[in-house]
Structure 1
Amino acid sequence: MRRNYPGIVTAKDAELLGRKDPGVWRYAHQDNLTITTKDGVDMKALQLRHGHPPKIIILTLGNSRVAHIEELLRREHPAITKFMDTETKGYLHL
């Protein structure tokens, strides 16, 4: 994953495991990061309230193994790159 997405920071790396969405949001906003989540409802609500950054990638996979999520992110790399380069879009559904 780090080859396709240099600078990736996981919730574990950032010591955000167990934090509520507003705490994750603040961390991502402060460092201009993109949030990738399977729980897009709350993050999207925060974005509607505060704008972006951070941008949000919402995964619509349901219960999935990490390998499936990694495969999706690799396969969708061109779409994700285009999304990241777009100033006007704040979220992307995959």
Structure 2
Amino acid sequence: MLHVLFLALTLVGLGSAILGLIAHTRGMRATPYYGVTAAAFTVAGIGNVVMGDSNAYLQAVAAAVNAWLWWHSGGGDGTKRRLKSWASRFQGIRRTAPSHT
């Protein structure tokens, strides 16, 4: 039963990858497809590891590529803004090194 679920998620990932490719070739914005595909391949890859399948590395590569495409095509802009605002709250404190010899 669980194997069927992970197979379905793999098919969702492949389907959204194909939709993203079609959107990219037609000049449409494919960012949502990249995000959905990365999530689907991540879950399917975890399922393949749990089930002991040997092709989990393919889903890991597909998830990484799609996550990279999503991040660099503007999908992570809100996340980037939040990370920058959180990082700006932290201030470095200069401390002297201990002089124990």
TM bracket, shorter-chain basis: under 0.3
Q: Which has the higher contact order (CA 8 A, sep 6+)?
A: 1
Q: TM-score of the superposition, structure 2-length normalised?
A: 0.24
More helix by percentage: 2
Q: Which has the higher strand share?
A: 1
What's the TM-score once normalised by structure 1's chain length?
0.25
